[in-house]
Amino acid sequence: MIPIRDSIPSRTHPYVSWILIASCIAIFLSMQFLMTLQQQHHILYFYGVVPIRYSDPQWAINFGLPPADYGFSFLSSLFLHGGWLHLIFNVWFIWIFAKNIEDSMGHGFFLLFYLLCGVIAMLIQWYFTPELALPIVGASGAIAGVLGAYFFLFPHARVVIWIPIFLLPVFVEIPAIAFLGFWMILQLQEAMTSVLFEGESAGVAWWAHVGGFMAGAILHRLFLRENTANEE
């Protein structure tokens, strides 16, 4: 199921959401067209989250990564993407769902909320895959935090989704709570599969999705505008 749009108009211009989208696109395009494959590899490993780098400092030393460089990669990884589809789906979800959360929080608080959810998501992924020697990159964890907030703030909003049945244009409108609830169940199922059957569901940071969603669901009220909180 691919979301097309939601039914909640934004009362303000979502400048931060636009900046986040533009930043992700600009960094990705710069890496694709201005860097060699070796340089891209270096950027992903240095600025992405490589769990074993923090679990085993000796591995980091042997690999050529600063083992004590804690913190920054958990933030910088949110702006890196591993491929075109990865980028497109992430910026598309920001475009659809982030504007209303930014509207409810204000620009500054929304940025803090987005980054915090992303960092928490990466930390949770590290906790569940401490020996992973591949870089984890992407805005998915932060976006999952946005979805967690949306789940509770706009449960009765309508989301138009495209169900790709033989690539036919089959569009269905469903409540946001149903779409996001189903999305979360899928992420949790894949995350549990990755634990029970090591090696399965590889290539996607499922625990970052689950952790980001939970972080957003729990923390979003701390970032709401006062008038928004009073209206609910």
Q: Percentages helix, strand, coil for the chain, rounded to the nearest 5? A: 65, 10, 25
How far, in Å, are 44, 116, 205 from residue 82 at the CA level? 8, 21, 12
Can you point out the beta strands (E) in the chain?
Answer: 2-6, 158-165, 168-175
pLDDT of residue 197: 66
Beta bridge partners, 161, equal 3, 172
pLDDT of residue 58: 87
Question: If you count them, how many residues does the chain have?
Answer: 232
CA 177 to the chain's CA centroid:
18
Tell me how far apart the alpha carbons of residues 161 and 163 are, in angstroms, rounded to a whole number.
6
pLDDT band at 109 (very low <50, low <70, confident <90, very high): very high
Q: With 90 as the cut, is the pLDDT of residue 163 above it?
A: no
Distance CA 19, CA 11 (A): 18
pLDDT score, position 201? 46
C-alpha span between 52 and 227 (Å, rounded):
44
- Written as six digits, the tokens of 182 are 């189903």
Q: Band of the pLDDT at 231, cuts 50, 70, 90?
A: very low
Q: Which residues pair with 173 in a beta bridge?
A: 160
Domains and their CATH numbers in the chain? 2-231 (1.20.1540.10)
> What is the tens place of the pLDDT at every residue in 181-207?
999 999 999 888 877 766 544 568 899
Of 53-62, 121-130, 131-140, 214-223, give the lowest mean pLDDT range: 53-62
Confidence (pLDDT) at 83: 92
Which one has a higher pLDDT value, 108 or 60?
108
CB atoms within 10 A of CB 173: 13
C-beta of residue 135 within 8 angstroms of C-beta of residue 214: no
Q: Kindly state the average pLDDT of the residues 113-126.
A: 96
What's the pLDDT tens digit per position in 67-90?
666 678 999 999 999 899 999 999
Q: Which two tokens stand for residue 157?
A: 């909003």
Answer whether 77's CB lies under 8 Å from 138's CB. yes
